[in-house]
Amino acid sequence: MERPGATTLKGNPLTLIGPELRPGDTAPDFKLVDTSLKPVTLNDTGRRVRIVSVVPSLDTPVCDAQTKRFNEEAAKLPSVDIITVSMDLPFAQKRWCGAFGVDNVKMLSDHVDGSFGANYGTLIKELRIESRAIFVLDANNHIRHVEYVKEVADHPDYESALSAARSAGAATA
């Protein structure tokens, strides 16, 4: 499934591959790799509330700021797991986290086969990188919040995602 013009980069329309997920949908499975090259599926992420922060590349200013922001927020949300997904190589993710002291978010790479991007509708066809997005999953793998950021260079709505995570956590407590 292709969604032409579903996102833009500096105003230029780009095509997203995959469905546009909505709150209430069941979270699709995926096969990512962690910073030690270990495969990680949806089931491997556990049964807690999760914020999945999707970024194009950690080596860009907005992605850098987004990941650092969620790293800071993770310390305030002990019952929520925060995951960052990008196409960056696992080695680059590990190096970036070490350079900036980011240790509260779990870094996962979609570089092997793009299954996360294709299943969550975040894979940019023209660039083979992820589009910026946020997903909040509850303990039962239901999507509680979705934001596909229209312009890749823009920040997501952090407060809406954090609020949805808190609400999902309260509902399962």
What is the model's pLDDT at position 20?
98
Q: What is the pTM assigned to this prediction? A: 0.95
What is the model's pLDDT at position 171?
62
Catalytic residue from among 63, 74, 87, 165: 63
142 three-state secondary structure: strand
Tokens of 154: 């823009």
pLDDT tens per residue, range 5-19: 999 999 999 999 999
Whole-angstrom CA distances from 68 to 53, 95, 114, 123 are 11, 14, 24, 22
What is the model's pLDDT at position 169?
75
Residue 63 designated active-site: yes
Q: In one letter, which amino acid is 26? A: T
Burial of 34 (0-12, 13-18, 19+ CB in 10 A): middle
Q: Calculate mean pLDDT across residues 42-64.
A: 96
Alpha carbons 144 and 23: distance in angstroms, whole number = 5
Tokens of 55: 């970024």
What is the model's pLDDT at position 168?
86
